[in-house]
Amino acid sequence: MSVARPVVHPMACVRALAALAACVVLALPVRTARAQEVQTVEVERIRPRKEKTPTLSFLKDNIDFIRSRFDLLRQKPGDKVGNAGDIDPRFLAYQEMLRDLMAARDSVSVAGDSLERQALLASITELGKLENQLDLMDGLLAAQRARLGVLQDDFTGRQLTSLVVVLSGFPIDASVDRVTVTLEDGDTLSVPISPEHRASLEHGGVVEVFHGFVEPREQVVEVAIAGDRWPAGNAGFVSLDPARDRITFLRLDLSRVRPDGGAASIEATTWLHETGLPLGDG
């Protein structure tokens, strides 16, 4: 004897399909390799200036010349006919996925209309038809999940680019009470140097200032030192270009800094580390 199933409204199935399809997230595989060699970077006194719109400045300075060249433009027939390039197979696949999506939507619409017109609970036969309709919706949802997975692989990825800032060494001439690091996005990290930190730095240890995700693009990190003999407002700037899907280490060596040189006298080094390896393997 068959067991009666609960009645499932077609619109509830459609909403469930959309909610489940929006939650599909794929994780990219993590690579493993060895860390690169350490490189020395310069700490500058003044923040590097970056020209944001060099192309617009060129167009503005040469606007008369460019307009004169536009006046000489004429439409001429070319001597090559039918020289078309190959179409990316992915674009054809997208068209097929779009057609499948439209067909699936029509199928759901037809199934919903059929469910509304029939008295599903009138007999065991009608309950069997309802089970078939639910199986159809499950298949359409699985196909939609596969299409979303293809788009996820093509256009998105998991964020793995990160930055680690550490301190090492301790100055002999002047005590350091606090080190402040300002990232490119404006986040400021202020680390007080406690007696425990000082003892660790004097014996070759390191103090972590920052460890988090950053954008894989060129950016400037500002470093400031505070203490009894350090002038107010002294700061140094380090230019970095974190590599995509890698861990970039920035070490700030305080052993040779001096009050007259300020934060610009810090010796800074950087190196890269693969995200798939533990930090101790580099």
Is residue 29 within 8 A of residue 274, CB to CB? The reply is no
142-153 CB burial, b ≥16 within 10 A, e <16: eebeebbeeeee
Q: Residues 6 or more apart from 16 whose CB is under 8 A from it?
A: 141
pLDDT confidence bin for 220, thresholds 50/70/90? very high
88-120: per-residue pLDDT in tens? 788 778 888 888 888 888 888 877 777 776 665
pTM of model > 0.85:
no
- Using 50, 70 and 90 to split pLDDT, how confident is the model at 211? very high
- Please give the CATH topology (third level) of the domain spanning 39-47+159-281: Immunoglobulin-like (2.60.40)
Q: Is the dihedral of CA 74, 76, 82, 83 positive or negative?
A: negative
Find residue 163's DSSP bridge partners: 212, 248
Convert the pLDDT of each residue in 147-172 to its tens digit.
888 777 655 666 678 999 999 998 88
For residue 268, the SS3 value is strand
Percent of the chain clearing pLDDT 70 (strictly above)? 73
- Where, residue-wise, is CATH 2.60.40 in the chain? 39-47+159-281
CA–CA gap between residue 62 and residue 43 (Å, rounded): 37
Give the model confidence (pLDDT) of 52-82 as tens digits: 666 777 778 888 888 888 877 766 666 666 6
Alpha helices by DSSP H, 118-206? 124-155, 195-202
pLDDT for the residue numbered 268: 92
* Centroid of chain to Cα 186: 18
